[in-house]
Structure 1
């Protein structure tokens, strides 16, 4: 019985099968945590989505920005972008079943026994674990309700750039979504810089990598999203799993309890 976490799959189905086979993953007794971005940019988004869904309770996944993009096209009226590789999902006979399942997935997952939180991009230093879970639940409640279409129509945007407790409506939901699914660089005050995707040592002026700032909690955070980190944050507390499989890197899977990693070059 083992618990594994896997980095951004992004449609790299063959690499996903490879790392699962390397560890002899058994859904009858093992658990897989997905850090988000199951789909898009890779060649087999449909197969990847079907595989994770087929694992049932053996898979725990949080939503990434590419997963939300898929849902925004499906339910918010947005158009496919030139580099999207999502067409097969929309033409699949089980498309609605897959999309409904994806829409029900959370933005964060917290394992209290291990004191580990999983979020696609991480959580900002200005939020505790409890606060992050509470705010993520606000978004999930909307995704699962009648206002999901309105949310997806207005989801995109970089504003507000900073969290305030007084935020309401779509501004509140958008900034929560941006912290949890798009964040890389942040200011000490908590303002997001959402355009830079480069290495952490090349942070824009006035910003730092989100994980480099002091936190009030002492738990670990497992995340993906930031391929330029190449799986390294310099701290065991912050486990980066996006190793750029879809960009010619590799897909990384880690045993949460032993730290043992396996990878498949893409």
Structure 2
């Protein structure tokens, strides 16, 4: 079995298919691990979700901020942005089936035999693996409740949950987890999440902000953290225990696949 991890697809379905063809991906024996942001921007969000859903257990997915936003759009909590190219998906006959499938996907996954943890944006450096598992599971449970739209999705759009408060409960606790695992790039020096800066680290004043992965972390150093979300990095991180896979396909760059067993990266240029 081969394990392939792919960066933010963002609806770039044709590029995904070409990339998988390059490695002769076979869902009967291989697994495709997706770092989230499956939809938006590209032209093939509907085809992407249908394809990943039909892969069944061969697809291992975590949710990204765009995937959560799709739930809000479908639930009429937010209005679509034409730039997201989601009209076809939102109008599809099987949209409810696809949304219900997305709601079953977690915010983190582990591949224990290779000591890999995957989230969309990263892992707060002050969380150990046990804390990550607990907090992500709480969000998953909330997403699977019948009232998930009113109880969670309608209330997740806030920058207020920027601090990790161990005593926090309810929405405050869930909001921090969503913000950290699906939106995080930089932290203030005191550990607070920053939601504004999307630049590459070379352009940022490190006396004010630092990438989350440059803080001392509580997860063991022999665990590799796989994430996407941050196209400005273009996959370039210096730490050997990190794999940054968002290389901006939806912005005209590449879709990147990491073959774990060979420690090899394969790319596909944006087609249009």
Moved over 6 A (4+): none
Distance in 2, matches of 1:4 and 1:188, equals 34
Tell me the equivalent position of 2:93: 93
TM-score normalised to the size of structure 2? 0.95
User: Counterparts of 1:40-79 in structure 2 under 5 Å?
Assistant: 40-75=40-75, 77-79=77-79
Tell me the equivalent position of 2:213: 211
Tell me the equivalent position of 1:222: 226
Segment drifting more, 56-65 vs 255-264: 255-264
Distance in 1, matches of 2:82 and 2:53, equals 26
Distance in 2, matches of 1:111 and 1:129, equals 13
**Equivalent position SS for 1:109:** strand
Q: 1:96 to 1:170 in 2, by over 3 A?
A: same
User: Counterparts of 1:1-266 in structure 2 under 5 Å?
Assistant: 1-75=1-75, 77-150=77-150, 151-203=152-204, 205-216=207-218, 217-218=220-221, 219-266=223-270
Structure 1 gaps, min length 5: none
Quote how far apart the aligned CAs of 1:87 are: 1.1
1:225–1:242 Cα contact (<8 Å) kept: yes
Structure 2 gaps, min length 5: none
TM-score normalised to the size of structure 1? 0.97
Quote how far apart the aligned CAs of 1:188 are: 3.9
Q: 1:76 to 1:189 in 2, by over 3 A?
A: farther
2:118–2:225 Cα contact (<8 Å) kept: yes
Matched residues, number: 266
Q: RMSD between aligned alpha carbons?
A: 1.2
Distance in 2, matches of 1:113 and 1:214, equals 24
**Equivalent position SS for 1:72:** helix
Segment drifting more, 73-82 vs 43-52: 73-82
